[in-house]
Amino acid sequence: MPDRLNAAEYLVDRHVQEGNGDRTAVLTPRRALTYAQLGDEMRRVAAGLASLGVRPEERVMFCMADDVELLSGILGAMYLGAVPVPVSTMCTGPELATVLVDSRARVLCASGEFADVVRTAVGLAPEVTTVIFDGQVGFDELPAHRWDEVRGEPSPLPAYPTWPDSPALWLYTSGTTGRPKAAMHRHASIPAVATCYGSGVLGMGPGDRCLSVAKLFFAYGLGNSAFFPLAAGATTVLERARPTPEVMAARAIADRPTLFFGVPTFYAALLASDIPDDSFASVRQGVSAGEALPPALFRRFRERFGVEILDGIGSTEALHIFISNRPGRAVAGTSGTPVPGYDVEIRDERGGAVTATGTPGDLYLRGPSTAVGYWCRTETTREVFHGEWMRTGDTYQRNDDGTYTCLGRSNDMLKAGGIWVSPVEVEERLLEHPGVAQVAVVAAVDEVGLEKPVACVVPVPGHAVDSDALVAWCREGLARYKRPRAVVVMAELPKTATGKIRRNVLREQVRDVLIPAPSESVVTG
């Protein structure tokens, strides 16, 4: 690794310097950019942020839709030596305020469609001094700039002389411990994931085009739509709109991607849609992550669309996938084998290595892209990071053929559509409802084998609870994906002798609740 490394230079300027500046770097529905043009945009953004007083290693938060502005913003901040912090566009105002306050970010870049969320957030985050919108927005709360006004003139502004261990970006995750926390990544982590997974597993080259369901604010989407294609001199296909089967099929037909990245929930939605069976005719490989891909989805997608899906496991803390199936050798129902450059261990409850196949244990990871820790979370950092090794929080077993199979989480965290959901966060929201006395949120499997949140509710004596009303209550206070998919009404929650909720018993009791029709989703027990 060189003494000096700036990831933005590595991803963009390197190709221009090698004489490939005229290759297409970005395709969006409204325009295309070559590597030379993307480099120009990157430097314009860096100059604009510098003019606002942004300094090296200062955080700049992005709550933006996937488009040239977000991509060039992330690159421009890294080029300047600052730390981009892309966050979920599904956040509510208070949720966005939480990460703004935690990060100490002074500058927030946002898309116009999220102006109401931003307005609420900055009212709760007094350290924010400047908001930059990608369009014209009426905004009186703080000095607000338009993106085009902030972009500086083309400038020979050199990349900040960061080195491999310099902070490159933060990604917020609820990951292994519930509350949002920032995983801090180095500049060196970016070429590492591009080399280990993008090249080592997918064999990416300049002729590839990448289309991702996961957005750029996810670690998964950031690799799919930025790090992998740009490192390879390939093309990223960005879609600003919310992904639906119809939207993504239209982009696939129009822009002919060679690699398609999704999550199991979206693959299930594609199969349930009436999009043409040849929508993904250009795709040489599908990829899935976020949660385990059920074997039935793997088989049905290959039969209908003719595309093999490589299932794998990654995490925000690892920056991308570290166990994956291989092209032409995918084993349905498994996560595959370790990605080149990464080591994994299965350990028992005492921390000893589990060597027997078929024996479950906690999955630990060692590799070149793991985060250096969590921002201002000393105790949590010590729980997760152990020297070179990281505890993933997943329960796994190694199979006789050398593949690894996910058996679930090692704690009570669950996923919805591939996104971590903290049961505690949903429970706290439900307990604010005047009709709810007790609640526990656990996972149940739907008809295609995907886990979704289910709320087990004990009503206040004398009150009746309405399933739709409680789901709507959650939607008002939380991001939509965190809402429970069903409400199970109970007289009491099963507990241990010491008063702890027996979540394993609840999971068994609600195991089939998502299989019936929605009208039957309220169960009295």
Q: What confidence tens digit (pLDDT) does each residue in 316-352 have?
A: 999 999 999 999 999 999 999 999 999 999 998 888 9
**Residue 366: its H or E element:** strand 361-366
pLDDT band at 99 (very low <50, low <70, confident <90, very high): very high
Is the Cα dihedral 275, 278, 282, 283 positive or negative?
positive
pLDDT band at 521 (very low <50, low <70, confident <90, very high): very low
**Pairwise pLDDT comparison (191 vs 139), residue with the higher score:** 191
Q: Which of 129-133, 288-292, 418-422 has the highest average model confidence (pLDDT)?
A: 129-133
pLDDT of residue 450: 85
Whether 1-14+31-163 shares its CATH topology with 189-411 is answered yes
Q: Among residues 358, 365, 367, 366, which one has the least CA distance to residue 403?
A: 358
**Pairwise pLDDT comparison (125 vs 142), residue with the higher score:** 125
Residue 233 has pLDDT above 90, yes or no: yes
Euclidean distance between CA atoms 435 and 333, whole angstroms: 41
3-state secondary structure of 154: coil
CATH architecture of 1-14+31-163: 3-Layer(aba) Sandwich (3.40)
Euclidean distance between CA atoms 246 and 354, whole angstroms: 45
Entry pTM:
0.84
**Residue 395: its H or E element:** strand 389-398
Spell out where 205-292 has E strands: 209-212, 235-237, 259-262, 285-288
**Order of strands across the sheet with 309-314?**
32-34, 24-27, 235-237, 209-212, 259-262, 285-288, 309-314, 321-324, 337-338
**Residue 35: its H or E element:** helix 35-51
- Answer yes or no: are the C-beta atoms of 107 and 54 closer than 8 Å: yes
The overall average pLDDT reported for the chain is 91
pLDDT band at 516 (very low <50, low <70, confident <90, very high): low
180 Cβ contact list (under 8 Å, min separation 6): 95, 98, 99, 102, 172, 173, 174
Which of 97-101, 150-154, 351-355, 478-482 is predicted least confidently?
150-154
Report the pLDDT averaged over residues 198-219.
Answer: 97
Residue 70 has pLDDT above 80, yes or no: yes
Euclidean distance between CA atoms 483 and 477, whole angstroms: 10
Q: Both tokens of residue 170?
A: 């933060």
Residues composing the chain:
525
Bridge partners (DSSP) listed for residue 523: 488
pLDDT band at 243 (very low <50, low <70, confident <90, very high): very high
Q: What does the angle CA 74 – CA 77 – CA 78 come to, to the nearest 5 degrees? A: 85
Q: What does the angle CA 522 – CA 479 – CA 514 come to, to the nearest 5 degrees? A: 25
- Answer yes or no: are the C-beta atoms of 189 and 168 closer than 8 Å: yes
- Answer yes or no: are the C-beta atoms of 482 and 474 closer than 8 Å: yes
Report the pLDDT averaged over residues 462-469.
Answer: 88
Let me know if domain 422-524 sits in CATH 3.30.300.30.
Answer: yes
- Answer yes or no: are the C-beta atoms of 287 and 309 closer than 8 Å: yes
Q: Among residues 165, 167, 169, 170, which one has the least CA distance to residue 182?
A: 170
> How remote is the C-alpha of 24 from its chain's centroid?
25
pLDDT band at 498 (very low <50, low <70, confident <90, very high): very low
CATH topology of domain 189-411: Rossmann fold (3.40.50)
pLDDT of residue 142: 79
pLDDT of residue 176: 43
Euclidean distance between CA atoms 4 and 223, whole angstroms: 22
Q: At what angle do helices 93-103 and 115-123 cross, to 10 degrees?
A: 50
| Phi, psi dihedral angles at 137 (to 5 degrees) | -135, 135
Q: Both tokens of residue 230?
A: 């740009």
Euclidean distance between CA atoms 57 and 239, whole angstroms: 29
3-state secondary structure of 12: helix
pLDDT of residue 517: 56
pLDDT of residue 496: 57
Report the pLDDT averaged over residues 513-518.
Answer: 72
Buried b (16+ CB within 10 A) or exposed e, 155-171: eebebbebebebbbbbb
Q: Among residues 239, 248, 240, 289, which one has the least CA distance to residue 269?
A: 248
Residue 1 has pLDDT above 70, yes or no: no
Q: Which of 291-295, 304-308, 350-354 has the highest average model confidence (pLDDT)?
A: 304-308
**Pairing mode, strands 130-133 and 107-110:** parallel
Q: Both tokens of residue 245?
A: 């089967």
The rounded percent of the chain whose pLDDT value lies above 90 is: 69
Residue 499 has pLDDT above 80, yes or no: no
Q: Tell me: the pLDDT tens digits for 430-462? A: 888 989 888 889 999 888 888 889 999 989 888
Which of 147-156, 178-187, 193-202, 346-355 is predicted least confidently?
147-156
Residue 296 has pLDDT above 90, yes or no: no
Domain boundaries, the chain: 1-14+31-163, 189-411, 422-524
The CB-side HSE value for 230 (13 A sphere, CA atoms) comes to 30
pLDDT of residue 161: 96
Report the pLDDT averaged over residues 190-216.
Answer: 98
Find the radius of gyration of the CA atoms of the chain: 23
276 Cβ contact list (under 8 Å, min separation 6): 249, 253
Report the pLDDT averaged over residues 182-209.
Answer: 98
Euclidean distance between CA atoms 404 and 421, whole angstroms: 24
pLDDT of residue 395: 87
pLDDT band at 428 (very low <50, low <70, confident <90, very high): confident
3-state secondary structure of 522: coil
